[in-house]
Amino acid sequence: MTNIVECRNVKKTYTQGHLEVKALDGVDLDIKKGDFLALAGPSGSGKTTLLNLIGGLDDTDGGRISVDGRDYADLSQGDLAELRLRRIGFVFQAYNLIPVLSAQENVEFVLLLQGVPAAERRQRARTILDAVGLDGMYSRRPAELSGGQQQRVAVGRAIVANPAIVLADEPTANLDSKTGRGLLEMMREMNQEKGVTFVFSTHDSMVIDHARRLVRIKDGKIIDDEQRA
């Protein structure tokens, strides 16, 4: 299968006071199209840092990352922004919803940036919100939703444009087990039927159990890469 992500000797160091902390220390990782992959590890292991670098939200201190055949080192900021808009969906642990927009408008936002006509935006956003269990809540703003409901809006926004890859940072962290399982099953179905690649950063055993590939990371290094049936 074709690689959708290639990481070669990726390094990232953060400065904390007078200390330098190696968040990633020479990571090599290929993610294939159609993977349903969990990056697992304890807090501070580097999994969220790696997710952010793959998403082009931060720059490496060394090494190379390419996504969908595009090497980040060769892209302008404009090209990188366009790649993120068209090909990558994000689910952030802190939701990152726009407070003044409704649930429907938050989900529509990516489609608006892509130039999708208003009627189609509305239909696609409502279909996704129904799928994540938020039918009837289209007009509610984030402050009127629970944490779990906001997370479901964030997942809807990430998948509504049918991206090539979805990067999800602790997507079940604020959900009860039933809702979390339902979301994972929906994303697994999207993965199987539409070939969308999913990469999760997690320490949730339920996400780990659903993953078809498990990559364990510790102290900025990959220590295990398990392919499952």
**Rounded CA separation 228/214 (Å):** 8
Structure confidence at residue 18 (pLDDT): 84
Q: What is the pLDDT of residues 188-218, one digit of tens each?
A: 988 898 888 999 999 899 999 999 999 999 9
- Residue 218 in contact with residue 187, Cβ under 8 Å? no
CATH classification of 35-59+88-227 is 3.40.50.300, yes or no?
yes
CA angle 125, 157, 46 (to 5 degrees): 165
For the chain, the domains span 35-59+88-227
Question: Average pLDDT in the 36-64 region?
Answer: 93
Average pLDDT, the chain: 92
The residues that bridge with 25 in the sheet, in sequence order, are 11
Q: Can you give the pTM of this predicted structure?
A: 0.90
Q: What is the pLDDT of residues 51-103, one digit of tens each?
A: 999 999 999 999 999 999 999 999 999 999 999 999 999 988 788 899 999 99
Q: Beta-strand (E) ranges in 33-111?
A: 36-40, 62-67, 70-71, 88-91
Q: What is the pLDDT of residues 142-164, one digit of tens each?
A: 999 988 888 889 989 998 988 98
- Per DSSP, 58 falls in state S
